[in-house]
C-alpha cells in the first residue's frame, strides 16, 4: 500500500500523526472517537498555503484597490491606500494583522455575495505570486493536502478556521483543499439582505462582523461547529488559543504548529513577521503539548 503521507519525512512528527489517527479510529481503544466527533481544524494562511511576503488576502485587496483608484485617483494619495497601491510592504506590515486585514476587507463593502465570488474566482484564475512565479491558488502545501485526505479517509471532517476573509477562502477551498464552503470559518464583514439587479441577495457592509483570530477562533468554532476539535494545525500566535482549546478536552488529541524554517524551498520567518507573528506559540508549545513541525526537517516536498 502506498504511503498516504508520502511528502512527510519519517520522524517523530509523522509518527505522532499516524499514531494519533490509529488510536482515535481503533474501536477497541479507550481513545476511540466516533466519526461525528472527529473534527479537525486547520488555519489557512501559512498553514495550508504560503503567506509570504503578504497574505493572499492582502494581495487580492491590493488589486481591488487599484481598481478603486482608477475610479477615484485621489485615493492614491491617501494612506493606507497609498501603501497598498505602491506595494509598500513595510508600511502595510506596520498596520499589524488586524489593521491590514480590516482595511483590506473594507474594500469589499457594497459587493453582493455572488459578485464577490465572481471577482474572487476571476482573480484566483490569473493572480501570480510575486516571488514563487506560480498562481496564488497553487501556492498550496502538498504535505497538508495529503494530511487532510488522510484524516478524511479516516472519518474526520476537516474545517478551515482562518483570520482571512471567509469568502475569498470559500472561492478556492473546494478546488484547492476539497473542503466545502460550509466548512470554512473566517473573518467577515456584516451583510444585509437587499435587492441588487432585481435579485434578493446578501450585500457586504463596511462593518466587521468577526475578526477570526486568537480567542475569537475558539468562539467561532463554538458557533459554527459546536464541537471541540480533536485535531488542530496552525502556524502562528493567532492559532494558539484554538490549539489549547483542542488539547483541553478529554481523550487523545493532537495539535501541530508549522514552523517556517525553510528559506531554500519556501520562506524562513517567525517572531518578526508583523502580519502574523509566531513567538508566544513557539515559546510555549512544549508546555502546552503542542508539537512543532519543522518545514525543513519534516516535509519532503513543500508545494503541490
In the complex, which residues of this chain contact a second copy (CB under 8 A)? 36, 39, 113, 157, 166-167, 170, 174, 180-184, 188, 190-193, 199-202, 209, 215, 218-219, 222-228, 241, 244-245, 248-249
Minimum distance from CB of 254 to a second copy (Å)?
16
Q: How far is the CB of 192 from a second copy (least distance, A)?
A: 7
Q: How far apart are CA 59 and CA 277, in angstroms?
A: 19
Select from 143, 140, 124 the least CA-distant residue to 132. Answer: 140
Between 165 and 277, whose beta carbon lies closer to a second copy?
Answer: 165
Distance CA 86, CA 97 (A): 19
Q: Which is nearer to a second copy, 51 or 212 (CB)?
A: 212
CB of 54 or CB of 124, closer to a second copy? 124
Read off the C-alpha cell for 146: 495529503
Nearer to a second copy (CB atom), residue 8 or residue 231: 231
Task: Please say which residue, 18 or 202, places its beta carbon nearer to a second copy.
Answer: 202
Residue 221 CB, nearest approach to a second copy (Å): 8
Residue with cell 518578526: 272
**CA dist., res. 89 & res. 170, Å (int):** 26
Closest alpha carbon to 39 in 201, 211, 227 = 227
Sheet holding 199-210, edge to edge: 199-210, 184-196, 157-165, 39-42, 231-234, 254-259, 291-294
Q: What is the smallest separation between the CB atom of 222 and a second copy, expressed in angstroms?
A: 5
The nearest distance, CB 106 to a second copy, in angstroms, is 18
Amino acid at each position: 500500500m502506498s504511503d498516504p503521507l508520502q511528502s512527510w519525512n519519517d520522524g517523530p512528527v509523522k509518527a505522532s500523526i499516524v499514531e494519533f489517527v490509529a488510536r482515535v479510529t481503533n474501536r477497541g481503544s479507550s481513545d476511540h472517537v466516533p466519526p461525528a466527533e472527529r473534527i479537525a481544524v486547520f488555519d489557512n494562511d501559512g498553514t495550508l498555503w504560503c503567506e509570504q511576503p503578504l497574505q493572499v488576502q492582502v494581495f487580492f485587496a491590493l488589486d481591488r484597490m487599484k481598481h478603486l483608484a482608477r475610479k477615484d485617483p485621489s485615493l492614491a494619495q491617501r494612506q493606507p491606500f497609498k501603501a497598498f497601491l505602491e506595494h509598500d510592504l513595510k508600511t502595510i506590515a506596520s498596520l499589524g494583522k488586524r489593521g491590514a486585514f480590516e482595511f483590506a476587507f473594507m474594500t469589499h463593502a457594497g459587493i453582493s455575495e455572488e459578485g464577490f465570488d465572481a471577482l474572487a474566482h476571476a482573480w484566483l484564475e490569473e493572480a501570480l505570486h510575486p516571488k514563487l512565479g506560480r498562481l496564488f491558488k497553487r501556492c498550496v502545501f502538498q504535505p497538508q493536502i495529503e494530511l487532510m485526505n488522510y484524516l478524511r479517509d479516516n472519518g474526520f471532517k476537516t474545517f478551515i478556521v482562518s483570520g482571512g476573509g471567509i469568502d475569498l477562502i470559500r472561492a478556492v477551498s473546494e478546488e484547492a483543499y476539497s473542503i466545502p464552503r460550509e466548512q470554512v470559518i473566517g473573518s467577515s464583514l456584516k451583510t444585509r439582505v437587499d435587492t441588487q439587479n432585481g435579485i434578493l441577495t446578501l450585500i457586504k457592509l463596511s462593518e466587521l462582523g468577526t475578526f477570526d483570530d486568537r480567542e475569537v477562533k475558539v468562539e467561532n468554532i463554538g458557533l459554527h461547529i459546536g464541537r471541540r476539535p480533536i485535531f488542530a494545525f496552525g502556524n502562528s500566535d493567532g492559532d494558539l488559543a484554538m490549539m489549547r482549546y483542542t488539547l483541553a478536552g478529554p481523550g487523545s488529541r493532537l495539535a501541530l504548529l508549522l514552523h517556517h524554517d525553510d528559506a531554500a524551498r519556501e520562506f524562513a520567518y517567525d517572531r518578526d513577521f508583523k502580519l502574523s507573528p509566531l513567538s508566544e506559540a513557539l515559546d510555549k508549545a512544549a508546555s502546552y503539548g503542542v508539537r512543532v513541525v519543522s518545514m525543513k526537517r519534516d516535509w519532503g516536498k513543500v508545494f503541490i
